[in-house]
Structure formats: structure tokens, C-alpha cells
Amino acid sequence: MKPPAFTYHRPTTVTEALRTLAEVGPDGKVLAGGQSLVPVLNMRLAAPGHLVDINRLEELSYVRVSDSEVRVGALARHADTERDEAAFAAIPLLRQATAHVAHPAVRNRGTTVGSLAHADPAAELPAVLSLLAGSVVLASSSGRRTVGADDFFIGPLESAVRPDELAVEAVFPRPPARTGTAWLEISRRRGDYALCGVGALVTLDEDRRVVAARACFISVGPTPVLVDLTDAADWAEAGALAAAAVDPEDDIHATAAYRRHLVRVLTARACARAAEAVHE
Amino acid sequence: MSDHEVRLTVNGVPHTVRVPARRLLSDCLRHDLRLTGTHVGCEHGVCGACTVLVDGKPMRSCLLFAVTVDGASITTVEGCRTPDGGLGPVQQAFWDCHGLQCGFCTPGFITTITAFLQENPAPTEEEAREAIGGNLCRCTGYQNIVASVLRAAELMRSAPPPDPPPSDPVDHELSFGVDGVSRDELHDQPSPGAGSRS
């Protein structure tokens, strides 16, 4: 179908965008890549009165890597995040997970920060932010605040972004030394929504003993589900621990039991792969 | 909710249109610019039939408002021809390998593969499958489309640089052939895209 009519705004600076968002209030919606928003509009599941197009805010089109973190601006496309060599060297998980976001044509337009703000329980980037204990910087005409991943994802398709706010930047902290990561997911077809996806992060000591192990799951709860697996005796036990920690639901794509099975199997595989990725 | 002036360069030709903000790029191309080569299948980003190149990158035109890509250069399937109007290398590969049946999904494949081969001129079969993963085809079973990707790569590697447009494009088209096979011989095979869908 065709999207409903709306009033279109195209600010050219962040200040102007924030002023417009404050003016239009709850009847407004931010248009970044639009790869989730436009399907919703086309299917008439939403009809915002105003769209504030941020695609001219070039100042937000960046992926910046420092010693402590990777900062991704609101206009960085998935493809920018995925291909950035410095970001990959700092946090390989960003590329590992982003490669599973839909298809290249969608990644060329959709944005990393937009995926976070959209807070789809089947989306990869929210789990990456949770696993790395990252945060999102929200700006409004009255100031800025930084919200940690724990508080950012509130429920399915619900994040902490208020109507007058723009998510301007995501901050992904670099994991400690001797840490490996992996991303695995199962979907009916490559690029489709995951039936279950898992990001794993494993830190080893000099003798390759596990110092820390965490995994974060998508499509098995209303928000990304983070599980600490540091105390597991081996990766099989880690899988069992994770399977006991999640509470998936049935839907037309998979039963809850099958999703729980995937959590167990994928956790063991992803943790083993993450541990292998720790280089001396 | 007044109309907006949008400037687009489509297949090298500049256009200015006045459209409402809600006009999808797919509809702008088809209805306002009468370029009906871009096909609209699902209209929510799943099928890939409407894929066009926006500043060289494949994107779903049904998930873009025309107004948001104001100023962009767009390449549609009509722009994937040779300069003289003959079949471009990806189109020729689809012909050679019988990469289409009803043809509805084909424009999205042609644009997607054109961009993919510019980035990866010598793909493996697995990479070719991955590249077309976002495009649905309900006729072919994909095997011939995968073959077409590899064939297109072959044609593009062996192709001489494009000739200047000939004075008489009709003559040139008749002499167009692949590997010594003239177009007349190719016509002896069942013509792809011919026949009824029903």
C-alpha cells in the first residue's frame, strides 16, 4: 500500500532538527534510513502527522574509533558501520552482527542508531549494545542525556527516546584485552528476522582460562536478553544455563521449545567460537 | 501538505518533478517519470523487485520517499543497457542462462547484480548466492539466476571498453552477439519473458 500523507520537514542542522521535534511533539517521527519506518507507513500501521528527515545532517554521518570506544553517529548507515576497518579492528562484533541485518540493499540505507531507537526484539544491534554495556546519546532542545543499554530498551519496539528527542549517537565500549566475540543466528532464510540470534563475548587469562563470558539473545524476549555465563564449567553447560534463563514465546515462525533449543545449541557454538578468537 | 520539488538524475538524465512528500521513489519513477521498468512487488521491502541504484548503491525504491533522495543519481533497469540501447552485460547473461521466466522480479536482480559485480568482479558461486539473497523470484528456482551472475561477471571481464554510440543503433543491435552466437540464433530458443504468466 501507499503511506499516509504527512508534513515533511528537512532540517539541515541538529539544532534545527531538535527545534522541529519539540514543535511537532508526539505527532512527529524521525526519518533516518526508514528501512523499518517506511514499511510500517506503507502497511498503514502508523500515521504520524510529521516526519523529520535527518538525512541532511551530515554532521551525524560518522564512525569514530578511539582507544576506549566506537562512536556511531545517527546518520551512519549499517553498511558504513559494517565496512569500517578501524571499527572492525576495535570491535569485531559490530561487523559480525551487522552482516546479519537484512540484506545489502537495506544495509545501504538503514542506520545503526535507527535500529537501536526502533528497539525491535529481533534486531541485532540492540543485543550488541547490551552485550558491550554501551549507551545511546539522546539530544533535545533542552539538553543531552546518555542512556545505558539496560535502561534504553524498554519493550518490543519501545526505547527510551522521548518524542522531542533525537538519538544522535551510539557508544560501543571496546571489550578488554584477550576478549573474543562471535555472532550466530538462525533464520528461515538468510537476511530474514532471526528465530534466535546470539552474540557471545569471552575473555580469557594468560592460561586461556575463562575470566568472563556473556551472551546476549534476540528474538527470545521482549528486549535483548543478557546472560552471564562466566561460572559455566564448559560451553555445553553454558548452553544449558542460557536455555534456562530465557523465556521465549510461540509464534507462527517457531515454537518456544524450538527457540529454547536454539539458545542452548547456539550459545555453546558461539562461546566456543568467541574463545577461539582470543589471540595470544 | 503541499508538493515538493524534487530533482533526480535518472540514468544520466536530469528531471525535476513536483510530488507530495509521501510519494515513494518507486512510484515517482513509474508514475511521474514513466519509467515502468522498476517493478513494485510487496511494497514493504521484502521482495527486492523495486531495487534501484541510488548514487551507485542498491536500495529498495519502495522504502524511500522521493523527496528524501532529492539531488541523487538513480540508476534503474533502463540504465543497465549498453549506451546504444542493446542488452547490458547482466541483461545479456540473463538471456544466455535463461535467468528469467515471467520477468517480474528481473529488474531488481539486474540492478542488484550490476552493483554487486562492480564491487566484486570475480565472485564465487557462494558469493553470487549471497548477493541475490535479498531478491525473491517465484519462477526460476534461482539456479539459472546464480549462473547468470557468474556469466555476467565473465562477460564484464571480457568486454571491451564501451564503443561510442553507433550512427545507426538498429544495425548495431542486429550484429550484437555473444561467443559467436548471433542474436538470430538466440531467438531460436524459447524467448525468455515471452508467454503468459497464467
Q: Note the Cα A60 to chain centre separation in Å.
A: 18
Q: For residue A227, give how far its alpha carbon lies from the nearest alpha carbon of chain B (Å).
A: 32
Rounded to whole angstroms, how far apart are CA atoms B60 and B40?
10
Instruction: Write down how long chain A is.
Output: 280
- Give the model's pLDDT for residue B161: 55
Residue B173: the pLDDT is 36
| The three cell numbers locating residue B44 | 514493504
Q: Tell me which chain A residue has its CA closest to the CA of residue B111.
A: A105
Confirm or reject contact between A45 and chain B (CB < 8 A). no
The confidence band for B198, taking pLDDT boundaries of 50, 70 and 90, is very low
C-alpha cell at A59: 554532521
Taking one residue from A and the other from B, the number of pairs with CB-CB distance under 8 angstroms is 91
Chain segment B172-196, per-residue pLDDT in tens: 333 333 333 343 443 444 444 333 3
A1 — pLDDT class (breaks 50, 70, 90): confident
pTM for the model? 0.90
Instruction: Render pLDDT for A162-192 as a digit per residue (tens, 0 to 9).
Output: 999 999 999 999 999 999 999 999 999 888 9
CA–CA distance, A275 with A204 (Å, rounded to integer): 7
Other beta carbons within 10 angstroms of residue A180's beta carbon come to 21
A267, three cell numbers: 550459545
How close A198 gets to chain B, by Cα (Å)?
21
Q: How far apart are CA A24 and CA A73, in angstroms?
A: 23
pLDDT band at A35 (very low <50, low <70, confident <90, very high): very high
Q: Could you read off the pLDDT of A77-87 as tens digits, one per residue?
A: 999 999 999 99
ipTM of the complex: 0.95
Band of residue B2 on the pLDDT scale cut at 50, 70, 90 = confident
Q: State whether residue B1 sits within 8 Å of chain A by CB.
A: yes
What residue spans of chain A are helical by DSSP H?
14-24, 37-42, 78-83, 85-90, 92-98, 104-107, 112-118, 124-131, 149-152, 235-245, 256-276
Q: Determine the average pLDDT of the residues in A152-160.
A: 97
Q: Give the chain A residue whose CA is nearest to the CA of B20.
A: A5
Amino acid at A141: S
pLDDT beyond 80 at B111:
yes
A18, with CB counted inside 10 A (0-12, 13-18, 19+), is: buried
pLDDT single digits (tens) A185-224? 999 988 899 999 999 999 999 999 999 999 999 999 999 9
B111 φ/ψ angles, rounded to the nearest 5 degrees: -70, -45
The label of the residue with cell 542508531 reads A113
Cβ atoms of residues A1 and A43 within 8 Å: yes
Residues in CB range of A220: below 8 A, 6 or more apart:
A196, A246, A247, A248, A259, A260, A263
Beta-bridge mates of residue A135: A148, A171
Contact criterion met (CB < 8 Å) for A103 and B133: yes
Torsion from C-alpha of A148, A150, A151, A157, nearest 10 degrees:
110
Q: What is the pLDDT at residue B160?
A: 61
In a mutational test of the A interface, the residue from B3, B31, B59, B119 whose CB has the highest number of chain A CBs within 10 Å is B59
Is the CB of residue B121 less than 8 Å from the CB of residue B95?
Answer: no
Residue that has been written with the C-alpha cell 546504444 in this structure = B84
Check if A55 contacts B (Cβ < 8 Å). Answer: yes
* Interchain proximity A51–B131, CB inside 8 Å: no
Q: How far is A213 from chain B (nearest CA, A)?
A: 31
Nearest-angstrom CA–CA distance, A165 and A145: 10
